[in-house]
Amino acid sequence: MSFGFQVLGFGAYPSRGGPIDASGGTVTTSGIYTIHTFTSSGTFTVNSGATALGEFIVIAGGGGARSGGGGAGGMIEGTGVSLSSGDFSVTIGAGGVGGLGDDDTSAGANGSNSVWNSNTAVGGGLSGYTNALNSAQDGGSGGGGGRSSIGESLGGDGTSGQGNSGGNGQGGGAPYNSAGGGGKGAAGTKASGGAAGVGGVGKANDITGSSIFYAGGGGAGGDPDYNGLASVGGNGGGGNGAVTGNGAAGSVNKGGGGGGGSAKANNTGTGGTGGSGVVIIRYPT
């Protein structure tokens, strides 16, 4: 079995050695390509045929949210991968669950990793919660910092080549608002004035035959006691934040971060769950 790499520009027409017979996932075609999309874990099997050069994306599950926006799942893109006979497992990461926006005892979790052919996309980071400094977690993209009356709360770090950092939450004085989670294409924004931070934008990819954004960061929650405004998630499946109540979930099979729940002190708003990941492989038919 061989999965060697060659350098090609993404989206270029890869060369091929001959026809290939493969199975696994949901199989579609677009132009000269056959496409295998895995939305749940499984096996990519190359049954027969000469070696062909393919392309892929691997996206992890998005991070759960508390009051900040959850970080997007890590996103890996590759071209020129040599496909030869054999069975190759595919693991699809689940999105992390959200937790209360103002409770350090509430569960919440990073997204889970997605894996194919030694390519491990790291799950998105859980966001921070209200009145806790530096509680946001690192991940494929980092979770956004929660707001704090103590001081500025730092966002989590992203993984190099897979995503970006979460923004910093406001602290030290009103208004109190949380920060957006990082996305594949940009960091989450810092809370500013009366507005919570926006989730970082994801990245577009046309491996399915259509240009689709993946791995957007979650928007953050705002504090209604200080006329706070919630924010939107990043393009690519990031969930929207809330001023009162619960944040929205990240989009499934895009690795979007969960949207932050209300940043109001002692509230019962819960951050959204991150979106599950996806693995997509294509090669010339």
Which of 168, 270, 271, 166 is closest to 217 using CA atoms?
A: 166
Residue type for 28, please? T
Per-residue confidence at 103, pLDDT binned at 50, 70, 90? low
Q: Is the pLDDT of residue 106 over 70?
A: no
Q: Torsion angle of alpha carbons 65, 188, 277, 162, nearest 10°?
A: -130
Helix (H, G, I), strand (E, B) or coil at 224: helix
Is the pLDDT at 160 greater than 90? The verdict is yes
Q: How much is the pLDDT for 15?
A: 40
Mean pLDDT over all residues of the chain? Answer: 87
> Would you give the distance in Å from CA 188 to the centre of its chain?
12
Q: Are 244 and 58 in contact (CB under 8 A)?
A: no
Judge contact between 262 and 242, C-beta under 8 A: yes
What is the pLDDT, as a whole number, of residue 6?
Answer: 31
pLDDT of residue 246 exceeding 90: yes
For residue 4, the one-letter residue type is G
pLDDT higher than threshold 60 for residue 3? no
Residue found by looking up tokens 């979460």 in the block: 166
pLDDT for position 231: 86
pLDDT grade for 18, boundaries at 50, 70 and 90: low
Q: Which residue has the higher pLDDT, 267 or 199?
A: 199
Q: Is 40 helix (H, G, I), strand (E, B) or coil?
A: coil
Identify which of 100, 95, 98 has the alpha carbon closest to the alpha carbon of residue 74: 95
Residue type, 139: G
**Once rounded to an integer, what is the mean pLDDT over residues 135-157?**
91
Q: What is the pLDDT of residue 17?
A: 45
pTM: 0.91
DSSP class of 235: T
Q: What is the pLDDT of residues 201-220, one digit of tens each?
A: 999 999 999 999 999 999 99
Q: What is the pLDDT of residue 252?
A: 97
What pLDDT does residue 92 have?
A: 98
Is residue 7 classed exposed, middle or buried when 0-12, 13-18 and 19+ CB atoms within 10 A define those classes? Answer: exposed
Number of H helices, E strands in the chain: 0, 12
CA–CA gap between residue 101 and residue 129 (Å, rounded): 5
Q: pLDDT at residue 133 above 70?
A: yes
Q: What is the pLDDT of residues 37-76, one digit of tens each?
A: 999 999 999 987 666 778 999 999 999 999 899 999 999 9
Confidence of residue 185 (pLDDT cuts 50, 70, 90): very high
Flag whether pLDDT at 138 surpasses 80. yes
Relative to beta strand 33-38, strand 26-30 is antiparallel
pLDDT band at 10 (very low <50, low <70, confident <90, very high): very low
> In the structure encoding, which two tokens stand for residue 237, read together?
């499946």
pLDDT at 134: 80
Distance of alpha carbon 182 from alpha carbon 176, whole angstroms:
20
Higher pLDDT, 222 or 220: 220
Q: How confident is the model at residue 9 (pLDDT cuts 50, 70, 90)?
A: very low
